[in-house]
Amino acid sequence: MEVENIRQKEFNRRFRGYDPHEVHVFLDQVAERLTGLVKEGQDLRAQLAELARDVKKYRQREQSLEATLAQTREVAQEIKTNAEREGQLLVAEAELQAEKILGQAHNRLAQIHDDIAELKRQRAQFEVRLRSLVEAHLKLLDVETERDRDLAELEDKIKILRSPSA
């Protein structure tokens, strides 16, 4: 139901009917609340889209780091092969050079593993925050629904009290 339809709704007038002013005030309140909920829903959808973009960015980073890890392994293997060839001419010097390069490669590999672990930790934190945000909003919606039910029950009781005794 559109907000303007709520605001524009006209009721038939009858003897001892509802007070038109009260009806219009109530409809205005309903329309304002509906407008707020629609805006809140739009804001949540925008926020969710932004969070989805962030997750996509983190996944791309993870893929990039995995590609770097594969390249590092390839580079380490090539360096080792070259060091063995050179080692035939200068065995002692080549062994020292290869150990140095492998040490750097292992350090880089360890750093990449640390980076991947950190990204996974950040992703897990993000998922927890997103889940708690969604759950909080669901709880808010449940509270609003319960409040609306209580209000409807109260209005029904008021109607019963106002109705003339038979």
Q: What is the mean pLDDT of residues 92-107?
A: 87
Domain ranges of the chain: 3-10+17-160
The position carrying tokens 């890890």 is 69
As a three-state string, the secondary structure of 19-55 is CHHHHHHHHHHHHHHHHHHHHHHHHHHHHHHHHHHHH
Q: With pLDDT > 70 as the criterion, what percentage of the chain qualifies?
A: 92
pLDDT tens for each residue of 109-128: 999 999 999 999 999 999 99
Judge if pTM exceeds 0.75: no
